[in-house]
Structure 1
Amino acid sequence: MQEVAKYIIKVNAEVKDGQIVPEIPFDEVMRLVNEPNIVIIKTGLPEAALSAVIEQTRQWAAQTPLAEGPDTFDNNQHKQRLHIAKIQKAPQLFHDHTFDAILDLEAPFKETLLNVFDPVRGFWNDMTGNNEAFGIRRGQPYFHPQVTHYPLGGSFFGRHWHPLNPQKVGMILALNQYGKDYTSGGTGYVINDHIVETEGYQDMGDMILFRYDLPHWVSPSSFADRFSWEDPAGRWVAILPFYDPWGTPADNEEPQGWKKQITQAKEVAV
């Protein structure tokens, strides 16, 4: 474990029997996230498995019509997001591939995705004390596996936030390499009124963990590059949200309650 910048801590891990096992206990990882810090887990997931997710997601998308209507949260779809979120007023420009019905995908694509998402799911369960499986469950929270592409030439995701529960910890897994596959664009956060940028700190296979109610964003890729939806160049990440899409949405005001909660927790500890 090493603090590589203010509020950024890297933790080594390895894959054992299909599970990501960190060098420190899971409850310690959770404590570091809740302080809060940005914790980067060096997962040890094979680069070949990560690259296969990108390649086969692109192949699947080429054969699947773009979704244009409102999200239904009960299928597998991909959408070129180019709008401003209604509630949080967060502008966004990226290509989103969402696999709510991941278990309904045909092999071998399903196995390719599960080779990555299953270890991430297990890590989240171990960290949060849950035992959740993939599958759509109306009226309850469930997993929404996503593979997101931020093309070169100005893709981004504006400052936004989420309710803390039931996700508790956000997870962003790098599917390709900064400095090689892309050279601009990273996720930023606000911690104790301090701006924390992770660009350049996350390598292929690294998984960023963050307290889910921290305001955060994805910085734009360089406008020096020409934008193209078809060009696979750019940043690729896998994320695993866990929420009820028909539940209460995020508030239109930035959540600052975590500051009070953390202060209270420290007072109790003393």
Structure 2
Amino acid sequence: MSVNIHVIGWQEFELMLQSPDFISNLENNVYIIRGLFNKELIDEIKDSCLSFSSKTADSWYPCIDDCPDYHRLHNNFPGAYVKAIQHAYYFHPWNDNDALFDSFKKIFSLKLALSEQKQNIQNYMSNIPSDGPIARIVVHQYPRGGGGQEEHIDPVSPYARVQTIIQASVPGDDFMQGGLYLIDPVHGRIELDRLTSKGDLIVLSPGVRHGVAPVDPESTFNWQETDGRWIIMPIIINSDVSNDGYGKPVGLGGL
């Protein structure tokens, strides 16, 4: 069965969420919710990331209590869950990020509503890693000149049953080639970024094979350039303090 792409508004999407078959049908349906987030908000977050990375060295920290916010340059690490070339930023609710997390409450509420373990994760927005699953906001920049991510499927857990990706770039302006694609069992590769605009939300199943094709591969690669493909992902993950048997991409946090 081929994948259906729905380009809709938030109110129509909310009606679809009421179907008891929403999750079971997600393998064959991808939703692009048009203009859900203000473009100015998206640009403010990107500017904050650039300011943050200009003041702190790239690094990595395990997801344990008192884990700081950090950013990391991924360059096809041999041990990575999914090899990628990207500049990734990781933000946590216990680090005075109230305004940032408040901006995406709608997405976190969506994930909670679809969770199979509502009682176990109902406090995830205030959890610290030793409490259990936690909220995290991940921002990725895929630089022009070959930024991308190999084809993969994401880990699925009872509290992470949908993948939510916020488009933070303008395809055709910030980058011309490459970007997010999924594999349709009938039609093969489907390029999704070209169907989106800055501020749109993409909702898809973590179990659908997808990747990020090299972004403007003929351009000169430079980690210092600020264009390319940007996305924002509000996610719920298990911490590195306790292992509930559900994996997560080590140091990646998904797409």
**Bin for the TM-score computed over the shorter chain:** 0.7 to 0.9
1:125 counterpart residue number: 112
Residue 10 (1) aligns with residue 3 (2): no
1:116 is matched with: 103
- 2:47 and 2:192 map into 1 onto residues whose CA distance is 25
**Distance in 2, Cα, partners of 1:235 & 1:33:** 29
Counterpart code for 2:88: D
Structure-1 separation of matches of 2:94 and 2:42: 19
CA contact under 8 A between 2:156 and 2:246: conserved in structure 1?
A: no
Deviations 1:73-125 (A, max 9, x none): 5321000011245375x3210000011x333136xxx52x2353333223333
AA at the equivalent of 2:4: Y
Change (3 A) 1:244 1:56: same
Q: 1:224 aligns with which of 188, 213, 218?
A: 218
Whether 2:52 is the aligned partner of 1:60: answer yes
Deviations 1:151-207 (A, max 9, x none): 111000111222321310001101121112222232122343643321301111111
Alpha-carbon distance between aligned partners in 1 of 2:53 and 2:154, rounded to the nearest angstrom? 28
- Percent identity, aligned pairs only? 17
Aligned residues: 235
1:12 partner amino acid? G
Query: 1:175 aligned to 152, 168, 181, which one?
Result: 168
How far is 1:133 from its partner?
Answer: 1.7
- Name the amino acid aligned to 2:197: D
Distance 1:191 1:164, change over 3 A: farther
Higher relative contact order (CA 8 A, sep 6+): 2
Look up the match of 2:128: 136
Aligned to 2:18: 27
TM-score, normalisation: structure 1: 0.75
Q: CA RMSD of the aligned region, Å? A: 2.9
Q: 1:47 to 1:87 in 2, by over 3 A?
A: closer
Give the SS at the match of 1:241. Answer: strand
Distance change in 2, residues 1:104/1:84 (3 Å):
closer
8 Å contact 1:50–1:116 — kept in the other structure?
no
2:114 and 2:204 map into 1 onto residues whose CA distance is 12
Summarize the Cα distance change of 1:43–1:126 in structure 2 as closer, same or farther, 3 Å threshold: farther
For structure 2, the residue ranges without an aligned partner over 5 or more in a row are 249-255
Deviates more, 1:205-214 or 1:121-130: 121-130
Whole-angstrom distance in 1 between the partners of 2:219 and 2:111: 36
Task: Name the residue aligned to 1:211.
Answer: 205
Cα pair distance change 1:82/1:140, threshold 3 Å:
same
> What is the DSSP-based 3-state SS (H/G/I as helix, E as strand, rest coil) of the residue aligned with 1:138?
helix
- Structure 1: state its 5+ residue gaps: 15-20, 252-270
Partner of 2:253: none
Name whichever of 149-158 and 197-206 sits farther off: 197-206
Distance in structure 1 (CA, Å) of the matches to 2:182 and 2:78: 19
CA apart distance, 1:250? 4.8
Is contact 1:12-1:41 (8 Å) kept? yes
Change (3 A) 1:33 1:196: farther
Letter aligned with residue 237 of structure 1: I
Post-superposition shift, 1:42? 1.5
Confirm whether residue 162 of structure 1 aligns to residue 121 of structure 2: no
- Please report how far the alpha carbon of residue 23 of structure 1 lies from its aligned counterpart in structure 2 after TM superposition: 5.5
